[in-house]
Amino acid sequence: MSEPKKLFIKTYGCQMNVYDSERMSEALGGQGYVETKTPDDADMILLNTCHIREKAAEKVYSELGRFKGLKAEKPDLKIGVAGCVAQAEGEEIMRRQPLVDLVVGPQSYHRLPEMEAKTRAGEKALGTDFPEEDKFEKLKNRPKAKRGPTAFLTVQEGCDKFCAFCVVPYTRGAEVSRPADRIIREAHDLVERGVREITLLGQNVNAYHGAGPDGDMTLAGLIWELNKVDGLERIRFTTSHPNDMADDLIEAHGTCDKLMPYLHLPVQSGSDRILKRMNRSHTAESYLRLIERIRAARPDIVMSGDFIVGFPEETEEDFQATMDLVEEVKYGYAYSFKYSTRPGTPAAERAQVDPAAADDRLQRLQALITRHQREIQDGMVGRTVRVLFEKPGRLPGQMVGKSEYLHSVHVKGPEIAVGDLKEVRITESGANSLAGELL
């Protein structure tokens, strides 16, 4: 029997890329590959790239340049670029960097085995079209390996919203939902392999409308179906758009026992003028009323969000409106970014904000968010939460897991096993995590 070939995958960006990398690894497993942790002994290197941050393509080219020596030593080494930079740049990557053998966009991963074979035959392989089929169904080639207690499951991809700053509608394409039965089957499979918590992924996950037994199913409908899966204990989903927060989904937050009380609902800005320029089609006020309704359904829910500061034409007054909104919502977590231009998006053409002003705003926003984050985390002390244990902690006999609110919790308890779900009383709030004791 021949030695297995080695595959090194480097993953950038969002959870969807993490999920995609796992699927690509499984697909190439069928071609005799096993994963390796270093590029040095690899027979194939795949960079699963992200295009959301600035100069993403340039960073990929410089990363690729570093493999020159390796390829010279080992002419059989194949180098591939996957993900959103692959989709955005296409064939240009092979023109600019002749080391690259394979370029595959997110909608073509099911073609990887065939593309890999092509590279072995000494040809270049390019796959960046947007086919109509379910790539994950075609990628099914899954060894029944045991898994950790948490997993991602992609239910929807692409986005039709066209926020003026964002590349996703161009790199991931139009919104496509996977049929419900395939998702439920995948969830059963994950649970059989040890998974107890599933995070449903989609660029605009709450726009989910996959085919179900009686016509299209909503995300809430899908969550209720998953709620019936024995052995699955927790359901989460990310990322949502305020305009797709349907009534049945809000209600599910109050009534569906496996749906966790945590919601990532990006607003991006608190200024209506900027929201309009961002093409967000909601206002600060409509967002705040939405959160009121969500909190009425589930009063203890922890909110999380994304913000962009320094969007073109943002004034100090616009920024203040963002600070006011943050003050009102009080996020348990929030991610804030300085606007950076993405060529080809509408905002790229507009008057840019002075970078120093944007830096200063980012710092002020992050300070406010951090303060709220701390207050909410500190407020957990004395409360009892349920923790799903994921791994051993740094101290001997210590285990770490996540509460229903997604806080990391450290507990001393040599008897605790990975995958256990236990009641914990929170005793301390540290820099980035909580500590507690088993009840």
Contact residues toward ligand 5AD (CB under 6 A) are 52, 165-166, 266, 268, 306, 308, 337, 339-340, 342
How far apart CA 340 and CA 255 sit, in angstroms, is 40
The answer for residues whose C-beta is within 8 angstroms of residue 255's C-beta and 6 or more apart is 297
Nearer to ligand 5AD, 27 or 164 (CB): 164
How far apart CA 237 and CA 208 sit, in angstroms, is 11
Contact partner at residue 342 from ligand 5AD, ligand SF4, none, CB < 5 to 8 Å by partner kind = ligand 5AD
Please tell me whether residue 300 binds ligand SF4 under the rule CB under 6 A: no
φ, ψ of residue 237 to 5 degrees: the values are -150, 150
Is the Cα torsion angle 108, 111, 113, 114 positive or negative in sign?
Answer: negative
Contact partner at residue 202 from ligand SF4, ligand 5AD, none, CB < 5 to 8 Å by partner kind = none
Nearer to ligand SF4, 188 or 273 (CB): 273
Please tell me whether residue 309 binds ligand SF4 under the rule CB under 6 A: no
Choose among 59, 312, 279: nearest CA to 169: 279
The footprint of ligand SF4 on this chain (CB under 6 A) covers a number of residues equal to 10
The least distance separating ligand SF4 from the CB of residue 46, rounded to whole angstroms, comes to 24
With beta carbons less than 8 A apart as the criterion, state whether 217 and 210 touch.
yes
In the chain, DSSP finds a helix count (H) and a strand count (E) of: 15, 21
How far apart CA 206 and CA 240 sit, in angstroms, is 5
Query: Per-residue string for binding with ligand SF4, 234-273, x by CB under 6 A?
Result: -------x--------------------------------
How far apart CA 421 and CA 388 sit, in angstroms, is 4
Tokens of 181: 């039965």
Three-state DSSP class for residue 325 = helix
Contact partner at residue 169 from ligand SF4, ligand 5AD, none, CB < 5 to 8 Å by partner kind = ligand SF4
Please tell me whether residue 393 binds ligand SF4 under the rule CB under 6 A: no
How far apart CA 146 and CA 65 sit, in angstroms, is 36
Choose which of 60, 153, 168, 284 interacts with ligand SF4 (CB under 6 A). 168
Contact partner at residue 204 from ligand SF4, ligand 5AD, none, CB < 5 to 8 Å by partner kind = ligand SF4
The least distance separating ligand SF4 from the CB of residue 185, rounded to whole angstroms, comes to 27
The least distance separating ligand SF4 from the CB of residue 207, rounded to whole angstroms, comes to 9
Please tell me whether residue 330 binds ligand SF4 under the rule CB under 6 A: no
How far apart CA 152 and CA 237 sit, in angstroms, is 9
Choose which of 203, 238, 269, 373 interacts with ligand SF4 (CB under 6 A). 203
Q: Please give the angle made by the CA atoms of 18, 24 and 30, to the nearest 5 degrees.
A: 145
Contact partner at residue 339 from ligand SF4, ligand 5AD, none, CB < 5 to 8 Å by partner kind = ligand 5AD
Is the Cα torsion angle 396, 401, 406, 410 positive or negative in sign?
Answer: negative
Length of the chain measured in residues: 439
Nearer to ligand SF4, 17 or 204 (CB): 204
Between residue 140 and residue 159, which ones bind ligand SF4 under the rule CB under 6 A? 159
Nearer to ligand 5AD, 127 or 270 (CB): 270
Q: String of b and e for 220-231 (b: at least 16 CB within 10 Å)?
A: bbbbbbbeebee
Contact partner at residue 340 from ligand SF4, ligand 5AD, none, CB < 5 to 8 Å by partner kind = ligand 5AD
How far apart CA 426 and CA 417 sit, in angstroms, is 19
Which residue has its beta carbon closest to ligand 5AD? 306
The least distance separating ligand 5AD from the CB of residue 349, rounded to whole angstroms, comes to 13
Three-state DSSP class for residue 112 = helix
Nearer to ligand 5AD, 266 or 393 (CB): 266
Count CB atoms within 10 A of the CB of residue 120.
16
Contact partner at residue 308 from ligand SF4, ligand 5AD, none, CB < 5 to 8 Å by partner kind = ligand 5AD
- The helix or strand, by DSSP H or E, that contains position 436, with its residue range, turns out to be strand 434-438
The least distance separating ligand 5AD from the CB of residue 52, rounded to whole angstroms, comes to 5
Q: Which parts of this chain interact with ligand SF4 (CB under 6 A)?
A: 159, 161-163, 166, 168-169, 203-204, 241
